[in-house]
Every structure is written in C-alpha cells, then in structure tokens.
Structure 1
Amino acid sequence: MADCLAAKLRELGFAVEEDRAWEKALSEEGIVPEGQKEAGRSDRAGNLYGFLQGTIPGQPVLFSAHMDTVEPSKGKKAFLEPDGTIHSDGTTVLGADDVAGLVEILEGIRAVLESGNPHRDIEVLFPIAEELYTVGTSSMTEEEFGKIRAKEAYVPDMSGMPGTAANRAPSLISFRATVTGRASHAGFEPEKGIHAIQAAAEAVTKIKMGHIDEETTCNIGVIQGGSGTNIVPEECTAEGEIRSYVHEKALACLDRVTEIFRQTAESFGASADVRYTVHLHAYETGMESVPVRRFRRVCRSLGLTGDITSTFGGSDNNTFAEHGIEGLVLSCGMYQAHSVKEYTRTADLAAGAKLIAGLILDSE
C-alpha cells in the first residue's frame, strides 16, 4: 500500500518521504513477527509524508488518511453495483476505512492540478497502524513532526456522507489490573489460598461502568484468571478502557479504578497492580478556528450541509492536535466500517474529492 501511494503521489509532483515507523512502533508493540524486525525489509512500511509546492503564497494545508485496515482484510474483492455501491464479497472488510479517505485526497488534489487553478502548499501524511490507537503517528518524533509546515489539517476518516466533520474527540486510556493472591489446593486446603478471581470480581462490582457522566465512559471488557478447577487461583487480570472529552476526567476515573482494585485486593490479603496506556489525548477545535470556518464555507459552495459534530472515537487528528495542528475529522462515505458488510458509494467518493479540492482552493 505504501509503495502504491508513494508512486501515485510522485506522479502528482509530490516530494515523498517514508519514515521507519514500523521499527519504532510496530516492533515495540510486538506486532512484527520475531525474525522480521531487521532494518531495510521491503515488506515493512512507514508513515508516508508528501509535500507539493504551491503556486501562490498562503499557509500550507495538511490532508491525512491511514493506510491500514482492520481484519479480515486479506484477499479483498471489490464489487461495484449499478447504483454505485461498492462492497466486498462478504468474507473480508472492504477497506473503505480508510481507503475512501485516501481516494478522496488523491482525486481532490488531482482535480486541482488538472484545473490549473493557483493553490497553496499541500502536504499529505498517510500513516500506518491508525487502527492500533494511532501507533503510526504516535511514533513520530518531534523532528519528524517538525517537517510538517501546516497548522491546519483535514482527516477524512469518519462514517457518513461528506459534509459533516467532527471538531472534538476524546482521550482514550486502556488499563490492565493484575490481582495476585495465593494458590492452594481447592479441595484439600482452600483456606490456605487467597482467591484472586474473587478479589478481582468484587473490585469490578464496585466500579461504575458505562457513562460516568455525559463526557466520560468506563468499561471492563476482559477478565481472565485461574489455571484449573481444583486450584484456588493465584492471579486474575481485568482489562478495560476509559474515554472522556476532558483529559483530566479520564485520569481521575483511572485513579478511582486503580484505588478500588488496590483497596479491594488488600481486603482479601491480595495485591493489585494497575498498568495503563494513554493512547489518545482529547482535543476540541474551536468553532471560530480556520479549519471550521473554511470547511463550512466550502460546504456551502458545494451544497453540502457543513455540520459540525463530535466523535467518541479517535483518529490521527488526536495526534495532530497534540502537536499544535488544528484539524477536523471528515465524513468520507464509509458505512458499517469494521465489518464484512462495509461499503461505500461512488457518489460519496466524488463528493468527498470535490470537498478536498475546495479546501485546497479556498483562499479566504
């Protein structure tokens, strides 16, 4: 995918660079199989960055869509129906998340160049591993982000018809609580054991799930423990996530979860260790910001709604916001994403490409 996109960008006149994100991120995450981590392998992709010199002065604009998809993805076959619907054969995802975004960016840029209209500098960033909590862009160094000149970004990576954009997304924190008790024979001497599953289960019952408030959710989705029915379990793990539009609320929820596990475990004579990872940091792009005003203005000119909404999912735009780049996540005509029923429509792809072209050409 990276090689294909790099070639297409060079055909459009872009200077293209590819970093080593697969080394810095994927190998650290344990995704690259052992024995395949050596540098220089042609089958390992990094984030693609492209720059195209503008023909008029003005602030550069950044477009981004990720190259990876969720599974099952191998052996995709796309079918185009007479009404313009594009879908897979039902055994894999289509990959419209986020190939629809890639298509619209490339076609929008191509349309601008073919029109001969003057345009400002254009930058693109096509990351790897967005589906793994933005591992690709999160692996980028300050020096690598420093190459990006734009302070305005558009990320077509949201379900729905083109014409809607999200200006707000949450923090996302995953956690893993490990409760350690003491093993013993469940039949002969259960009283000598400390039941880790029981301690963990009681802690889970004390944690509020679902909506903590209108901006925050908490969920424990995986619990595992024990090694046999005749053994008092020595260890139990519980894994979950916290999301919030306010980063401080997410951290406060994490503190509560941690304290509940520790106090409950201690009451059983066990111990609890809670580890966590902050995958995404909440952001909100202001309604009077350049991206919002430009998006609405271009949508009006194209007869699109120009609606501004929120999303409770993350994207590479979360990472951009952390590095001082204001942006929006755009609906790009993907439907039923993350399933084998995923589809897109040619009319949406065309509308999305026109929107990208409009965002490039808008000079106000």
Structure 2
Amino acid sequence: MSVEEKFIRYVQYDTQSDASSQTIPSTKKQLVLADALKKECEAMGFDRVVEKQGTVYAFLKEKGTRSKEAIGFVAHMDTASEISGKNVKPKIIRDYDGQTIHLNETYSMDPDRFPSLKKVKHEDLIVTDGTTLLGGDDKAGIAIIMQAMEELIHSDQPHGPVAIAFTPDEEIGRGVEAFDLKEFPVDFAYTIDGDRIDAIDYETFNAAEAIIDIQGVSIHPGDAKDRMVNAALLAVEFASMLPKDEIPSKTEGREGFYHLLSIEGECEHAKLVYLLREHDVNKFENQMETIQQIAKEMNAKYNNRIEATIRKQYSNMKEYMHGDLRSVHRAEEAIRKAGMEPVHTPVRGGTDGAMLTERGLICPNLGTGSYNHHGRYEFASIPQMKKMVEIVKSILEG
C-alpha cells in the first residue's frame, strides 16, 4: 500500500477532538483509529507496540549499524473542530493544471486566493469535496511515518533504534498530557505536522487559552431601567477593549494575536474563548496581563460580574532546546539529500513537539506536503508526501 493509499484510508476515520471533554482522549472515536494503527504496526513487524490512553507507541531495534542514537517520529490522530471531519470524501486531481479547483458547486480554490497552489502545478493533489476538512493535519503525517516504517522494515537499510507515536487531542492543546516518555526511549524526535517539506520548525508560539465568563441580570425589558445587566453586551464591550489589529487576519511572521475562538451569550450569561499567541515570552506575559486588566476594569464598572481564566497550553520550544541542534542538523542533511535547501520559519501555531521539548525531549517539526489546514480548502500533494517518506528514511540512515 502506498503513502497515497494510506492517507486516503486514514482520512475516512472521524477523529475530531473535543475541547469541552475532560476524558483522555477527549473523544472515543479517536480510539478507533488508534486501535487500527496499533494493529497495523503489529502486522508490519515492529518489535514492540503499545497503546496507552489513546496514544500508540511502536519501537524498532537497531539493525546493521553501530549507531546507538535513537530517533523518534510523532504525528497526531485528531482533526480540528472548525469544520466537520466526518464522511470525508477525498478527490484526486492528477497533474494539476494550475487553474481554479472547483470542489463543488459552491466552493472553489483560486490560486490567487490560495497561493500555495501556485507551487504545486503538475503535481497530483488530494482535495476535499468542499463539505468537510481533509485531515491532512495530521493524517498526512501518520501516512508518511507509516509508509517510511513499512519500507524501512522491509529493506536492508541500516538504522539505529526507532520509535514512533501517534497521539490524540493535539488540536485542543492536550496531545501529550498523558504521553509516557518511558514508552518512547529516544535521544530526540520530530513531529511530522507542518506543510512545506523543506522546512524545519523549531520556533513556535507561546500559547494560552483565555475563557471570559460573564454573569448578567435578566429582567423584562419593559421594566429594566437600572436593573438589567446584559451579559451579551458586556461580552461585546470586553472584545472591543482588546487591540483591534492584533488578530490573526492582520498579523504574520512573529506578530502575535488574540484570536476570538468562540462567543456565546444571552442576557443572563455570556462566554468568550480566546487563543493567545506570541513568540516572545515577554509579549506573551503582557497578553495575559491585558486580559486580566480588562476583566479588572469591567468588574469595577459592573460590580464583579466577570471571571477571566487563563490556561497555558504550550511554550516556544526554542527556549527549551538550549542550543542543542543535533536534530535540526540531521534533518537539514536529509532535506539537502532530497534536493532542497532547508528553511527555518517561526511557526504560527504549535505542535506536540513544543510540549515534548519543554518536558526534555527535543522535538522539532517537519512538513507533510499538505496545506490550508483546518478547513474545506485543505489539499495534499502526493509527490511531496512521497518525498517526505524518503526524507524520514534518510534521517534514520545509520
């Protein structure tokens, strides 16, 4: 089975995570794919395969080499919540002609609007039917790892110890909360969870989630003077007090943002959920202080009706690598061997690798050849996924 076939099979699994759930994993449907991957790893011939709390671990002993440097690869099974991941119907476009792709009668991808399409002309693409996301984030990563491992096991290529892991709940910032480092005995690892395959990412956002809970007073509007407190209006006021240009649609590069993920409310109660993102740790601290300061000012104005709760999600992995770039240099060598010049860009997001690095396991991020993640405009390049399989195998050469 090819990487293309594996990918198409994996995206058939509905694996969306649920931020409101307190279980590990957050949704039972992720366990269905975890069980399938566990069985696939066992059939493939790994020396050890374990599933714990929704994470699948598989391990290969060294073969034909004196190298004892153990290397790991990680990808996540869940998909984002912005749009449905159920009943995904991938379509294959052979030898893409560079023109607008019509996903269905309503939705199309124009290269001028989605410039990543301009870089994949004449490549075979996998796209959605316009009704769901595709799941390239991160089932392309899973397919690449599984294909690379299958080819490695059935080849004579020497390699040191290898571990792979497939995690749940990355999209809700809880992908490695239950990750057992004892089941992943490596010197360093890589997440395969980006887009462009010439990139090695080791600078991520610092990230937090802020939940603003507002209590109002509901009363008949005809008798409301000096008595009603409309929580929905307070939510609007809170949002208006944040920096108007520090939002995802107006920032790039290392510029951080406040992302209003959701807003719900009525007169009696309202809730805002924000994602806070900054590369610079001091600016990140200022973001969290800004949220609390606005809450303080509005509580003074409205008699303590607002509660702001902030939960840190992950940190900039670069700060926890402490200058150890062995993993980066090894990936650079493999990318050059594949005929490309490696690039390093600040990630406008995060990966399981950010949290693993903070816990002591250095884990930069590599690409998948899939683009426009978290929506109906996702697509994956088949030749890029194939090249990424070769890069993974090249990293492991002993």
Query: TM-score range, shorter-chain basis?
Result: 0.7 to 0.9
Distance 2:255 2:129 in 1: 38
Residue 153 of structure 2 corresponds to 113
- Are the aligned partners of 1:145 and 1:323 in contact in 2 as well (CA < 8 Å)? no
CA displacement at 1:85 relative to structure 2 = 1.8
| Secondary structure at the counterpart of residue 309 of structure 1 | coil
Distance 1:77 1:219 in 2: 30
Which of 59, 66, 88 aligns to 1:51? It is 59
- Are the aligned partners of 2:137 and 2:193 in contact in 1 as well (CA < 8 Å)? yes
Residue 178 of structure 1 corresponds to 213
| Secondary structure at the counterpart of residue 187 of structure 1 | helix
Change (3 A) 1:12 1:253: same
Q: Which amino acid aligns with 1:185?
A: H
Change (3 A) 1:346 1:239: closer
Which of 69, 81, 93 aligns to 2:79? It is 69
Residue 256 of structure 1 corresponds to 290
- Are the aligned partners of 2:200 and 2:332 in contact in 1 as well (CA < 8 Å)? no
CA displacement at 1:321 relative to structure 2 = 1.0
88-97 or 339-348, which deviates more: 88-97
CA displacement at 1:109 relative to structure 2 = 2.2
**How high is the TM-score relative to the length of structure 1?**
0.81
Q: Deviations over 1:256-289 (max 9, x none)?
A: 2112112222223343211122222221156761
Distance 1:221 1:78 in 2: 27
Residue 70 of structure 2 corresponds to 60
1:236 aligns with 2:236: no
Distance 2:230 2:338 in 1: 63
CA displacement at 1:51 relative to structure 2 = 0.8
Distance 1:252 1:244 in 2: 10
319-328 or 234-243, which deviates more: 234-243
1:4 aligns with 2:4: no
CA displacement at 1:331 relative to structure 2 = 1.3
- Are the aligned partners of 2:90 and 2:126 in contact in 1 as well (CA < 8 Å)? yes
234-243 or 346-355, which deviates more: 234-243
Distance 1:249 1:120 in 2: 41
CA displacement at 1:354 relative to structure 2 = 0.2
Change (3 A) 1:53 1:207: same
Q: Which amino acid aligns with 1:89?
A: D
Which of 347, 366, 370 aligns to 1:311? It is 347
238-247 or 348-357, which deviates more: 238-247
CA displacement at 1:145 relative to structure 2 = 1.9
Distance 1:295 1:97 in 2: 20
Residue 19 of structure 1 corresponds to 52
Q: Deviations over 1:58-81 (max 9, x none)?
A: 121010111222342223333333
Change (3 A) 1:210 1:139: farther
Change (3 A) 1:79 1:278: same
1:192 aligns with 2:204: no
Residue 23 of structure 2 corresponds to none
Change (3 A) 1:113 1:264: same
Distance 1:78 1:216 in 2: 33
Q: Deviations over 1:225-249 (max 9, x none)?
A: 33xxxxxx34333321211113453
Distance 1:225 1:291 in 2: 47
Change (3 A) 1:187 1:356: same
Residue 137 of structure 1 corresponds to 176
Q: Which amino acid aligns with 1:271?
A: R
CA displacement at 1:292 relative to structure 2 = 1.0
- Are the aligned partners of 1:209 and 1:219 in contact in 2 as well (CA < 8 Å)? no
| Secondary structure at the counterpart of residue 112 of structure 1 | helix
Change (3 A) 1:286 1:166: farther
1:127 aligns with 2:137: no
Change (3 A) 1:261 1:164: same
Structure 1 vs Structure 2: percent identity of aligned residues? 22
Distance 2:335 2:184 in 1: 26
**How high is the TM-score relative to the length of structure 2?**
0.75
List gaps (5 residues or longer) in structure 2: 1-32, 96-123
329-338 or 204-213, which deviates more: 204-213
- Are the aligned partners of 1:6 and 1:48 in contact in 2 as well (CA < 8 Å)? yes
Residue 265 of structure 2 corresponds to 225
- Are the aligned partners of 2:211 and 2:271 in contact in 1 as well (CA < 8 Å)? yes
Change (3 A) 1:95 1:271: closer
| Secondary structure at the counterpart of residue 363 of structure 2 | strand
| Secondary structure at the counterpart of residue 310 of structure 2 | strand
